[in-house]
Amino acid sequence: MHGQSWGWSVGRCLAALLALSAAALAAAAETPYFQVLGGPAARVERLPLLQTRADVDIVGAIAAVELHQVFENRGNVPIEAVYVFPASTRAAVSGLTLRVGERTVRGVIREKQQARAGYDAARSEGRNTALLEQQAEGVFRMRLANILPGDRIEVALQYSELLRPREGVYEFFLPTTRGAPGGGESAAQAAVRTSAAAEVTDYSFALALRLRGAAPFADIASPSHRIEVQRSGARQARVTFAPDEAQAATRDFVLRFGYAGDAVAGGLQLFPGAPEQFFLLTLQPPASVLPEQVPAREYLFVVDVSGSMAGAPLDLAKLVLRELLAGMRAQDRFNVVLFAGAASTLDAKAALAGTPDNLQRALRFIDAANGGGGTDLLSALRAAYALPRSAGVARSVVVVTDGGIVAGEAVSRLIRSRLGEASTFAFGVGASVDKAVIQRIARAGAGEAVMIENLDEGRPQAQAFRRYIEQPLLSGIAVTFEGFDAYDVSPMPVPDLFAQRPVVLVGKYRGTAQGRIHLRAQSGRGPYEAVIDVAAAADVSQANAPLRTLWARNVLADRMDLGAEDGDRENLRRDITKLGLDYGLLTPYTAFVAVDDAVRTQQPSTQVDQPLPQRASQVASYASGSGNALLLAAALQPALQQTIAANAAPVRVIGGREFRERGDTLVDLAWRDGQPLLRIRRDSAAYRRLLQLRPDLRIWLEQERSVLLSLGRYAVLVDPRGFSDYPDALLQRAVALRP
């Protein structure tokens, strides 16, 4: 990070200070910015993110999100912005809207190359245009072209996802930050992508979230933010930020909720659209489980002992296996299959009882593995599935690997084909674990993917995973439809129901929502059977509209994971492209493009790059307060105070207050260490509102130069490069008109 990129106009001495303090500030404050790439180092244009608003509807296990973000070009040239942002790996992106001033343009889905061509043409013609592409699973890139100086741009992104519970708790995750510095980037890339700024944007981060449960809620809470929950019945609630919550994006937002109930509950959601109709069937486990509800269990541990596992990864795998075996009951059964170039089974005839002697035998078998050879997971899985299985037993296959294995489409197809016989989970171990491989294995097996990078976190992670898999409730689930014309149902076969994981089926149906759905399975208490009356149980609502996109997202994941059995890659590409175009879904081969009709400029755009704000856990002195303001207190403001004291200029008295001149800025001597600081552009809407709230400030603010003024708890810097907009509630707090 370089001093000339800060844009702080408090005089040359402070500019030098900022250059010297860059390392400290890099750890202290990352304000969201598009940062110019290339061009003379002295020329800096910025596009700050002013507002983020998330409108979220959670119905049952479906989350529909509309994410609004507002930017402003505060530079002197037209800008092309490149913005990479994260979302859930399960996100189904289905819409893009671009608004510049009073003009609104809705994105359309196109084949990716066609969308890029449309974007490039519009950009060269001087039109406002946006392009949204999937860069990787759960990572999306947006480009905005021809943003003129002074433009305010609002981008709205629509996506939906199916929430999965962990340890019985559903979690909605709204990522607003990037990971730790370095995260796969080179040092040079990280330096370019860093955008800490000396001023405070204090931009607003607002949330409006509505919950409608498939069953009564047990609890609704957030570990990341202070929230207010307003319940309107046992199954409905609204969630907003608490009034005193920091509206900052230095923390990802997390909401957790659980359901109450002492029996397996079936929920049915319908979206009777046209021309196709969709349904989602959820088998929700009870809030608490009695020991007799858990059937006999069988665990098949498939462990990678190839060359890439040698050393720390294999040590970690052995630790995981010891922890998982420690939870065995005498009536449980297990087996271990080690694989490298070939598979080796602890007992090739049958699974073993979980007796102390057999557990010791398994540990000796695992400890003898040294790590070496190739990686043939397919043969190992075939050996595991071929082991005889007792009737009425819930079988789980646990794959433990660093991901450096041959685990392509044939592996996914095998796991999916045996889904009615076993749930398959994937445990990724080691600092260089291939997360995509681990997630693909778990997704094919309707299981959970767990990543452990070091020995320190191995034991607690393994213990949490053991709790996850040790309570199967229903196995061998069979679903039949009587009088309800269901088709294209996924996943099939149906996976087992666990105490910490529901079974979720999504599909289509024809005709009227009537008839019955029969469920048959094996439980710890014997055969289980339930019947759902479709007409009586169905939740039919427009709020279920995301089912269309979620069904397509499920099919997309299956097609990508399972691939083309005949090896026809081009046919697979055509199928996925058609799926994206038919269902308005972002895929690796489709993209959203929005083009305005109006030609706005003939001047070429300067390209900028948008780094995400840094996570609060990475900010050494983060404290909740007014947005990003307090992020500056520890690193920047003491240094400024010291510089002001060491370079004392003559004192000027204006309206009874004392100021010192620093370059072209008047600095209020009442300004103190730790004050949250707002930076406002003179003659902007925020400046006019500030003077409307406090007319008495004119005597100090209406000078011919920039002014840094203490307001009490807050301070304000008024200069030509300030922000034009702040939330009104924040301005009122700053001038002490509201708490």
Please check the confidence at residue 717 and state whether its pLDDT lies above 80: yes
Please check the confidence at residue 94 and state whether its pLDDT lies above 60: yes
Q: What is the DSSP string of 3-34?
A: GGGS---S-HHHHHHHHHTHHHHHTT----EE
Residue of 586 and 247 predicted with greater confidence: 586
Q: What is the pLDDT of residue 353?
A: 87
Measured between alpha carbons, how far is 721 from 594 in angstroms, rounded to an integer?
30
**Shared domain check, 407 and 384:** yes
In the listed set 440, 470, 500, which residue is the last one of a domain according to the structure? 470
The helix (run of H) or strand (run of E) holding residue 363 is: helix 356-367
For residue 625, name the pLDDT band (cuts at 50, 70, 90).
very low
Per-state percent for the chain, helix, strand, coil, to nearest 5: 25, 35, 35
Task: Report CA-CA distances (Å) from 549 to 397, 539, 553, 572, 576.
Answer: 30, 18, 6, 19, 14
In the listed set 455, 470, 485, which residue is the last one of a domain according to the structure? 470
pLDDT digits (tens, 9 = 90+) for 506-519: 999 999 999 999 99
**Shared domain check, 465 and 335:** yes
Q: Is residue 529 part of a domain?
A: yes
**Shared domain check, 484 and 465:** no
Closest CA to 268 of 489, 553, 558: 489
282 lies in which domain range?
A: 265-290+475-583
Minimum mean pLDDT range among 109-113, 516-520, 626-630, 715-719: 626-630
**Shared domain check, 316 and 448:** yes
| 553-563: average pLDDT | 83
Measured between alpha carbons, how far is 363 from 317 in angstroms, rounded to an integer?
12
**Shared domain check, 464 and 396:** yes
For residue 184, name the pLDDT band (cuts at 50, 70, 90).
very low
Please check the confidence at residue 595 and state whether its pLDDT lies above 90: yes
**Shared domain check, 551 and 445:** no
Residue of 581 and 205 predicted with greater confidence: 581
In the listed set 437, 470, 503, which residue is the last one of a domain according to the structure? 470
Q: What is the pLDDT of residue 648?
A: 57
Residue of 229 and 46 predicted with greater confidence: 229
**Shared domain check, 423 and 325:** yes
Minimum mean pLDDT range among 204-213, 466-475, 605-614, 634-643: 634-643
In this structure, the dihedral spanned by the alpha carbons of residues 288, 291, 294 and 295, taken in order and rounded to 10 degrees, is -170
Q: Is residue 161 part of a domain?
A: no
Minimum mean pLDDT range among 97-111, 422-436, 668-682: 668-682
Q: What is the pLDDT of residue 276?
A: 93
Q: What is the pLDDT of residue 126?
A: 92
Total domain count, the chain: 3
Average pLDDT value for the chain:
77
Closest CA to 89 of 214, 173, 193: 173
**Shared domain check, 727 and 579:** no
Q: What is the pLDDT of residue 371?
A: 65
CATH number at residue 448: 3.40.50.410
Please check the confidence at residue 587 and state whether its pLDDT lies above 70: yes
Q: Is residue 260 part of a domain?
A: no
Q: Is residue 419 part of a domain?
A: yes
Q: Is residue 81 part of a domain?
A: no
Minimum mean pLDDT range among 179-183, 407-411, 437-441, 474-478: 179-183
Q: What is the pLDDT of residue 483?
A: 94
Closest CA to 589 of 71, 168, 111, 151: 111
Three-state secondary-structure class, residue 469: helix
Residue of 684 and 248 predicted with greater confidence: 684
Measured between alpha carbons, how far is 421 from 416 in angstroms, rounded to an integer?
10
Measured between alpha carbons, how far is 318 from 185 in angstroms, rounded to an integer?
31
Q: What is the pLDDT of residue 486?
A: 95
| 514-527: average pLDDT | 90
| 630-655: average pLDDT | 53
Q: Is residue 326 part of a domain?
A: yes
Three-state secondary-structure class, residue 309: helix
Residue of 529 and 676 predicted with greater confidence: 529
Percent of the chain with pLDDT over 90: 21
For residue 70, name the pLDDT band (cuts at 50, 70, 90).
confident
**With a threshold of 0.85, does the pTM exceed it?**
no
| 535-543: average pLDDT | 82
- Other beta carbons within 10 angstroms of residue 148's beta carbon come to 19
Closest CA to 239 of 220, 219, 263: 220
**Shared domain check, 727 and 660:** yes
Measured between alpha carbons, how far is 677 from 628 in angstroms, rounded to an integer?
9
Minimum mean pLDDT range among 100-104, 153-157, 264-268, 431-435: 264-268
**Shared domain check, 670 and 555:** no
DSSP, res 648: P
| 529-540: average pLDDT | 87
Q: Is residue 64 part of a domain?
A: no
Q: What is the pLDDT of residue 204?
A: 65
For residue 308, name the pLDDT band (cuts at 50, 70, 90).
confident
Per-range mean pLDDT, top range of 311-315, 450-454, 666-670, 722-726: 666-670
- Other beta carbons within 10 angstroms of residue 736's beta carbon come to 13
Please check the confidence at residue 157 and state whether its pLDDT lies above 70: yes
With b meaning 16 or more CB within 10 Å and e meaning fewer, what string describes 187-207?
eeebebbbbbbbbbbbbbbeb
CA angle 639, 642, 648 (to 5 degrees): 135
Percent of the chain with pLDDT over 70: 78
Q: What is the pLDDT of residue 318?
A: 81
**Shared domain check, 299 and 283:** no
Contact 132, 591 (CB under 8 A): yes
For residue 181, name the pLDDT band (cuts at 50, 70, 90).
very low
| 492-513: average pLDDT | 88
Q: What is the pLDDT of residue 538?
A: 80
| 53-71: average pLDDT | 87
Residue of 273 and 490 predicted with greater confidence: 490
Q: What are the residues facing 237 on neighbouring strands?
A: 211, 231
Residue of 123 and 24 predicted with greater confidence: 123
Closest CA to 289 of 263, 328, 327: 263
**Shared domain check, 502 and 430:** no
pLDDT digits (tens, 9 = 90+) for 442-484: 888 888 888 887 767 777 888 888 887 888 888 888 999 999 9
Q: Is residue 241 part of a domain?
A: no
Closest CA to 243 of 626, 731, 724: 626
